[in-house]
Amino acid sequence: MTSGLGAGFLFVLGLVVGSFLNVVIYRLPRGASLAWPASHCTSCNRPLSWYENVPLAGWLALGGRCRTCRARISPQYPIVEAVTGLLFLAGYYAFGVTPLLAVRLAFACAMIVLFAIDLEHQILPNEITLSGVVVGFALSFLLPPGWKSSLLGLVVGGVFPFLIAEIYFRVRGREGMGMGDFKMLAMVGAFLGWPLVWVALIISCVLGTVIGGGALLLSRRGLGTRIPFGTFIAAAALLCAYAEAPVLRLYGQAIRAYLTWVGLAS
Separation between Cα atoms, residue 131 and residue 143, nearest integer Å: 18
Indicate whether 212 pLDDT > 80. no
pLDDT digits (tens, 9 = 90+) for 59-70: 998 899 988 899
Indicate whether 223 pLDDT > 60. no
Do residues 63 and 80 lie in contact, with contact meaning Cβ atoms separated by under 8 Å?
no
Q: What is the mean pLDDT of the chain?
A: 89
Indicate whether 175 pLDDT > 80. no
pLDDT of res. 163: 80
Mean pLDDT of 79-93: 97
User: Running DSSP on this structure, what letter comes out for residue 122?
Assistant: S
- SS3 for 212? helix
Question: What is the pLDDT confidence band of residue 99, given thresholds at 50, 70 and 90?
Answer: very high
What are the structural domain ranges in the chain? Answer: 1-96, 98-266
Report CA dihedral (83, 89, 95, 99) to the nearest 10 degrees.
Answer: 90
Question: What is the pLDDT confidence band of residue 97, given thresholds at 50, 70 and 90?
Answer: very high
pLDDT of res. 265: 64
